[in-house]
Amino acid sequence: MLTENDAVQIFDTIMSIPAMNEMVRMDLKISRKNVLLLYHVIERGINENEGSLSILLKSVPKENTAELKQLSEECLQRAGLAELNQKLSNLGAAEKQ
């Protein structure tokens, strides 16, 4: 069984492979529903408090999480869902109060 330190070292090794920084062009066709879900999954993963993050996510550099956040926001924009998502977020925030 891997220890926490071993898992982080393996993940770091995989992420440091030279080709991992190359840009990849992806032609992706996805429903608007799944774009919205993907956005929220990424947001939740990035915004989780430190205690509940997985070992691997704790070791991810901040610039990578910023890149993922930007990707999720770009997907919302391209799908025409940015305004809807904002309104849903406002509803959720109002419900919590």
User: Could you tell me which residues come within 8 angstroms of residue 55 by beta carbon, excluding any fewer than 6 positions away?
Assistant: 4, 7, 8, 11
Predicted confidence (pLDDT) per residue in 80-90, tens digit: 999 999 999 89
pTM as predicted: 0.75
Predicted confidence (pLDDT) per residue in 53-70, tens digit: 677 777 788 888 899 999
Distance separating alpha carbons of residues 88 and 12, to the nearest angstrom: 36
